[in-house]
Amino acid sequence: MIVKDFKIIETTNPKVLACLKSINIFNMKDIIYPHEETMEDNPVTSSITNTYPIVLGVFFEKIEEELAIKDELYILDGHHRFKYIVDNSISEIFNVILVDIESVNVDSYNTELLVEKEIFLNEIFEDYGFSTKGSTSKIYIEIDGVNYYSNNISNIKKLYSYKKDLMNKQMISPIPNNHKNSNTTVRFSSLSFKDFSKNYVFPHKSTWITPRFDKL
């Protein structure tokens, strides 16, 4: 895919290649892939879709006066806006941000503890044997700076499915990574862009991706 008439955007934390481009999202929907689920009660409106650009992670193949990118774009921010556009067949031009997916930081979306710490620790131990000792796994849940590992969760997809279960049980709740939190913060092993797939979506609020473009 060749990209013309774009505007380079300066980013920090981290510094990555990013550009502002106007495209018909609906017409390109077959090569745009979500990496997270959406929530049914999210109140997206046409005003929101026109105000906040959707952020798409792309693989740059050539960077010159024109950009060549792979026909495989992943939504990094704007899943609900994308769904609103597609569900309502809005064949219009929208601003998007194209960002080098191989250079962004993909962190776990923070959660805060809604129950007593000991209750939570007992829950994750009884469910999957999470503990601080005796594990060779790199999959962990972090609480108060301490990592708890489990040999019974073998991959990142299963970990994030479990994170969704814990949220559904109202033991933890998502909280933006740039917000101060008075409750205990619970973090999960981070994903990588390499975990994104055309055929799989992670639960809602799995990732916190930087740089952020909230105030563009």
Residues in CB range of 96: below 8 A, 6 or more apart: 20, 21, 22, 23, 25, 53, 54, 55, 56
- Give the β-pairing of 172-174 and 111-113: antiparallel
Task: Give 76's pLDDT tier (boundaries 50, 70, 90).
Answer: very high
Predicted confidence (pLDDT) per residue in 138-148, tens digit? 899 999 999 99
Distance CA(33)–CA(169), nearest Å, equals 28
Around Cβ 44, how many Cβ atoms within 10 Å?
19
CATH 3.90.1530 placement within the chain: 2-103
The answer, yes or no, to whether residue 216 has pLDDT greater than 60, is no
What is the Cα 93 distance to its own chain's centre? 24
Q: Check residue 215 and give its pLDDT.
A: 63
- DSSP letter at 211 equals S
131-174 residue pLDDT tens: 998 777 889 999 999 999 998 998 999 999 999 999 999 999 99
Q: Is the pLDDT of residue 95 over 90?
A: yes
- Give Cα separations from 182 to 4, 141, 185 (angstroms): 46, 19, 9
SS3 146: strand
The per-residue pLDDT for range 10-57, each reduced to its tens digit, is 888 889 999 999 999 999 999 999 999 998 877 787 777 778 899 999
pLDDT at 65: 84
Fold of 2-103: 3.90.1530
What rounded mean pLDDT belongs to the chain? Answer: 92
